[in-house]
Amino acid sequence: MNLRRFWAIARKEAIHIRRDPRSLALAVGIPMLMLLMFGYALTLDVDRVPFVVLDEGGSPASREFVARFGATRYFDFRGTVANYADVERALDTRDAMLALVLPPNFAAQLAAGQAAPVQAIVDGADSNTAALVLGYTQAIATGFNQQLAREQIRRIAGSVPAPALDLRTRVWFNPDLESRNFIVPGIMAVIMGLIAALLTSLTLAREWERGTMEQLISTPVRPVEIILGKLLPYFVVGMVDMVIAVLMAVYLFEVPLRGSVPLLFGVGALFVVATLAQGILISALARQQLLASQLAMVSTFLPAFLLSGFAFAIANMPPVVRGITHIVPARYFVSFVKGIFLRGVGLETLWRDALFLIVFAVVVIAVAIRKTRKRFG
């Protein structure tokens, strides 16, 4: 490879980027906008669930039980209703997702040591959220039962025995269980992969559409010099996007960065090169910019969003789909970014992810060079 010709191609592409400030602004602005939208809008936290109460007894015991729901951040009390028709209306209009129905003899049954039935009606249209709401409800009911049991034992025995099991929980890596702490690092990989592939998917296709590729063919420049020369300016743009994304994650969304910053950017550079190479391969195969951009979108954003483990657990996918995820570069970068941000682990743990990105980038660049050489021939 001739460095002078390589640098000439890179300089030519850089001049093209500089002469198109709107595309450059979009290349920098779109990642920021997408990170803002996903970071604030996409959340897996289930809290402030609206609920209504049909309390047919109105006793102090029933009010104490209902107050336990309102005392947590997981539920938002929307008021009492008079009958089942109001319960149905509240659930139909989505004014409430949970309805508690307490019988008129609730307090009397508790005072007599009997089981007092309480009906919890949950809107199951969203099955995952409904399962969490049921879990919250059962936890509060269990706590209320334990309190009643302790009071009953104290009245009979005069004291409460120590529990046989003293469970002390501790959450590592994300102690507050904030979904933003793992959504933001994951969405960084999705956005970076999409933008990088879109940037380079138009380069060779644009040359073919404008007829300038024939001029390049007539020069002594080689395919490897064209491919690498066109990658270099977009690599710089991609790294600028990554710097902005990391700064937003740390200072705007307050995601803890516990690992090595140089290692994060080093492997991030590998991922940028891998996705840029994927885009340049698409551009080499498709001679039309519209087709190239569509292929880039389908082959980067959708696999990165669905098959990287960012939004859906890979372990829960069917075996065939799990096998496909092994060829999605975003899967490895998502794992690496979460390991650096949340766990603070290093290359000794994540070296397989880095190795795949290296192999993927080399293979895709080699295939792109081969396809371009065939076009030249």
The average pLDDT across 223-239 equals 84
Amino acid at 140: I
pLDDT at 62 over 90: no
The β-bridge partners of 120 are: 100
Q: How confident is the model at residue 376 (pLDDT cuts 50, 70, 90)?
A: low
Q: What angle do CA 264, 269, 270 make, to 5 degrees?
A: 100
Q: Give me the percent of the chain exceeding a pLDDT of 70.
A: 93
Least confident of 179-188, 209-218, 230-239, 361-370: 209-218
Per-residue model confidence (pLDDT) at position 223: 75
- pLDDT (mean) for 297-304: 82
Write down the pLDDT at residue 51.
93
**Confidence category of residue 211, pLDDT binned at 50, 70, 90:** low
Give the CA dihedral 377, 363, 361, 329, nearest 10 degrees. 120
* Domains with residue ranges and CATH for the chain: 3-43+178-376 (no CATH), 49-157 (3.40.1710.10)
The Cα 263–Cα 46 span in angstroms is 34
Predicted local distance difference test score (pLDDT) of residue 100: 92
Q: Which residues contact 270 (CB under 8 A, 6 or more apart)?
A: 354, 357, 358, 361
Q: Is the pLDDT of residue 205 over 80?
A: no
Q: Which of 293, 291, 318 is nearest to 306 (CA)?
A: 318
Among 365, 259, 377, 252, which Cα is nearest to 1's?
365
pLDDT grade for 374, boundaries at 50, 70 and 90: low
Q: How many residues does the chain have?
A: 377
> Looking at residues 296-300, what average pLDDT do you find?
82
In the predicted structure, residue 116 carries a pLDDT above the cut 80: yes
Q: What is the pLDDT of residue 164?
A: 67
Residue 144 · residue 118 · CB < 8 Å: no
What mean pLDDT is reported for the chain?
83
What percent of the chain is predicted at pLDDT more than 90? 11
Nearest 5°: phi and psi at 52? Answer: -120, 165
In contact, 209 and 288? CB cutoff 8 Å: yes
pTM of the model: 0.76
Is residue 230 scored above 70 in pLDDT? yes
Q: What is the pLDDT of residue 13?
A: 80
Supply the pLDDT for residue 373.
65
Kindly state the average pLDDT of the residues 109-121: 85
Task: Please give the residue that has the higher pLDDT: either 198 or 141.
Answer: 141
* pLDDT at residue 160, as a whole number: 64
